[in-house]
């Protein structure tokens, strides 16, 4: 089947790579000329495991073509996926400018007498598909179906998530789209993956509700972890108990420095505002946002309380991406923690195996080290903020020799206390 994907960002590229690998002919379009040029040369603008190989393989096999938004392609595509960004605006609402501009671009290319299906993958407030439908169908010359098909891809495992989804959600109001989407997702359906058909508004809300629930789990375990710490309980034992209850589930119960990334913070804020705009309040999510903001203040203060006030401390931060497996620093908990640290008189060095380029764009004056052991040399305090596997595998005795001081804050619980303290370290982790 001929499919268009508009938006060569994170979701668009993964969608295009996977659909082309399933055997569809995919045209992936964007309005940024330089980006398209690079993509056609096989240069991928983001880091995502296996994306590079998958895109290049299908590009070589001509199953995938990158282009500027183009009328001929829109004309010959049976389905048009929209995967443009829907960032957060200054009021914490979802900014739909790029999406609506994209719809206007498509509209220009629609031909008389045609029926088309537009499938929205971008995360959008409830009611947006309805608005798009009326924007497009104000002209009786053509007939456009609009489907909501939210994505549930995690950065770092997006290809795996696309190929093996927990569920595929298709929000639609007509049989023609159901038939079309079943053909597009045939490979996954044949493999037994669950497809849930809903009405359009349910699909729109389900995406925000899923992310909000997961974020709520993270904030919940972070607060329980603090209680464990204060009382002498052990968060690993507690989460083993609660996670063994199938009604709760054992995922998303790892304490850490707070959730971050390009999705949870914006989606929670947007859900709260969407609810308010309909005269409802989702107070539980308002509290989650507050708890997550405070988490970073609290952890930064914990480090600051251990600074030696008589001299300038050398602090090394390991990990600035919002989680392991990505170079993304958007809304990373490391950012507000570092912002608080640099207000104090310290020498700061930052290390990350993937995210230093993105980090240095934000903080060009903060010292970074490309080599892990260079980063820790001379440090008084070591702070771990991302759970990268190279940090898990660190040579502790080498660390003890290279560091000047002996304080380790492990805010991802990647080490065991016993193995660390025998090297003379003062070790603080979360909830244990």
How far is residue 197's CA from residue 67's CA, in Å, rounded to a whole number?
Answer: 31
How far is the first Cα of the chain from the last one, in angstroms, to the nearest whole number?
53
Q: C-beta of 165: minimal distance to ligand UGA in Å?
A: 10
Beta bridge pairs of residue 351:
318
Q: C-beta of 407: minimal distance to ligand UGA in Å?
A: 22
Rank residues 211 and 313 by Cβ distance to ligand UGA and give the closer one: 211
Rank residues 77 and 122 by Cβ distance to ligand UGA and give the closer one: 122
Rank residues 171 and 260 by Cβ distance to ligand UGA and give the closer one: 260
Q: C-beta of 155: minimal distance to ligand UGA in Å?
A: 4
110 DSSP assignment:
P
Helices then strands, each counted (H, E), the chain: 19, 14
92 DSSP assignment:
S
Phi, psi at 176, each rounded to 5°: -60, -40
Rank residues 356 and 385 by Cβ distance to ligand UGA and give the closer one: 385
Q: C-beta of 45: minimal distance to ligand UGA in Å?
A: 17
203 DSSP assignment:
H
The answer to whether 129 touches 90, Cβ cutoff 8 Å, is no
How many C-alpha atoms does 237 have within 13 Å on its Cβ side?
6
Beta bridge pairs of residue 170:
197
Q: Which of 28, 102, 263, 429 is catalytic?
A: 263
What is the biggest distance separating any 2 CA atoms in the chain, rounded to whole angstroms? 78
Q: C-beta of 329: minimal distance to ligand UGA in Å?
A: 11
Q: Is 102 designated active site?
A: no
Here the tokens at position 209 are 């509700």
Burial environment of residue 35 by CB neighbours within 10 A (0 to 12, 13 to 18, 19 or more): middle
Which residues sit at the interface with ligand UGA, rule CB under 6 A?
123, 151-155, 211, 214, 218, 252-254, 256, 259-261, 263-264, 322-323
Active-site amino acid positions: 263
């Amino acid at each position: 089947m001929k499919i268009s994907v508009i938006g060569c960002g994170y979701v668009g590229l993964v969608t295009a790579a996977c659909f082309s690998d399933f055997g569809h002919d995919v045209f992936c379009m964007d309005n940024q000329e330089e980006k398209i040029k690079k993509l056609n040369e096989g240069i991928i603008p983001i880091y995502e495991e296996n994306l590079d190989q998958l895109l290049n393989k299908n590009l070589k096999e001509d199953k995938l073509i990158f282009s500027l938004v183009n009328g001929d392609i829109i004309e010959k595509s049976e389905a048009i996926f929209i995967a443009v960004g829907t960032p957060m605006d200054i009021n914490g609402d979802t900014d739909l400018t790029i999406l609506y501009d994209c719809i206007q671009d498509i509209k220009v290319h629609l031909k008389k007498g045609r029926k088309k299906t537009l499938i929205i993958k971008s995360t959008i407030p409830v009611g947006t598909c309805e608005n798009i439908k009326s924007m497009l169908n104000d002209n009786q010359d053509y007939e456009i179906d609009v489907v909501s098909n939210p994505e549930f891809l995690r950065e770092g495992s997006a290809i795996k998530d696309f190929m093996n989804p927990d569920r595929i959600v298709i929000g639609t109001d007509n049989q023609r789209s159901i038939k079309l989407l079943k053909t597009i997702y045939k490979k996954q359906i044949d493999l037994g993956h669950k497809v849930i058909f809903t009405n359009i508004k349910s699909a729109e809300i389900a995406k925000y509700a899923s992310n909000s629930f997961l974020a709520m789990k993270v904030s919940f375990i972070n607060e329980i972890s603090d209680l464990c710490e204060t009382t002498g309980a052990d968060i690993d034992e507690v989460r083993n108990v609660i996670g063994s209850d199938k009604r709760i589930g054992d995922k998303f119960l790892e304490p850490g420095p707070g959730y971050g990334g390009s999705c949870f913070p914006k989606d929670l804020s947007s859900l709260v505002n969407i609810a308010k705009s309909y005269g409802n309040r989702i107070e539980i999510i308002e509290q989650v946002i507050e708890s997550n903001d405070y988490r970073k203040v609290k952890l930064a203060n914990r480090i600051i309380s251990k600074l030696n006030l008589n001299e300038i401390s050398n602090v090394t931060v390991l990990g600035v991406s919002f989680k392991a497996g990505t170079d993304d620093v958007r809304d990373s908990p490391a950012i507000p923690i570092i912002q608080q640290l640099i207000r104090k008189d310290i020498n700061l060095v930052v290390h990350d195996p993937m995210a230093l380029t993105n980090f240095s764009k934000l903080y060009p004056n903060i010292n970074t080290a490309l080599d892990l052991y260079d980063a820790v040399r001379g440090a008084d305090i070591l702070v771990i903020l991302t759970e990268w596997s190279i940090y898990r595998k660190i040579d502790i005795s080498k660390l003890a020799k290279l560091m000047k001081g002996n304080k380790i804050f492990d805010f991802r619980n990647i080490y065991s206390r016993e193995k660390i303290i025998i090297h003379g370290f003062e070790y603080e982790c979360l909830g244990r």
